[in-house]
Amino acid sequence: MLLKSTEWDNGKIMHVSIYSLLVGALLLMPAPAPVSAADEGERKVLHYYELKPSVVANVKNGAQYMRADIQLMTRDAQHLQEIGHHAPALRHELFLLISDQEGSALKGLQGKETFRQDALKALQQVMLQLAGNEMVEDLYFTSFFVQ
């Protein structure tokens, strides 16, 4: 049995009208463009190499030491093995860089970000010298502690 509009209250009529508009709008939306093979090649999966164990080193002034868990990001899975092979050299570079840092500067957000950028550049240089390619595209702290 069909209901007459007089049998519906205003809320139900409004609800049906909005629903109809939404369904109509969805039907009128253009379909997404198909992804070509070239597009998929540009969007490589990100890969991470975890420097283990945590990097712990003494710092200068304002703190005694810094401890950080660090992940290195690359877009090429084949680079992971090379990064792992050179992990001792990467860790060594980080120890040298950390020991030259002012502990008080590392406690602030700007100090941490500056250190992150400096560490990334330093590790890219190490990889360039040892492997002929920077390989490491970014560096992330998954924990960071200065005391």
Q: Please list, in sequence order, all residues whose beta carbon lies within 8 angstroms of the beta carbon of residue 84, skipping any fewer than 6 positions away.
A: 49
Domain residues for the domain of 128 are: 40-146
**What CATH code is carried by the domain that includes residue 84?**
3.30.479.30
Residue 111 has pLDDT above 50, yes or no: yes
- Residue of higher predicted confidence among 100 and 15: 100
pLDDT tens-digit series, residues 35-56: 444 555 566 799 999 999 999 9
pLDDT tens-digit series, residues 68-88: 999 999 999 999 999 999 999
Indicate whether 31 belongs to any domain: no
* Number of domains forming the structure of the chain: 1
Indicate whether 21 belongs to any domain: no
Residue with tokens 């990100």: 46
Q: With b meaning 16 or more CB within 10 Å and e meaning fewer, what string describes 95-131? A: eebbeebebebbbeeebbeebbeebbebbbebbeeee
Q: How confident is the model at residue 61 (pLDDT cuts 50, 70, 90)?
A: confident
Q: Mean pLDDT of all residues in the chain?
A: 82
Q: How confident is the model at residue 62 (pLDDT cuts 50, 70, 90)?
A: confident
pLDDT for 3 equals: 47
Residue 66 has pLDDT above 80, yes or no: yes
Residue 63 has pLDDT above 90, yes or no: no
Indicate whether 123 belongs to any domain: yes
Q: How confident is the model at residue 26 (pLDDT cuts 50, 70, 90)?
A: very low
Indicate whether 32 belongs to any domain: no
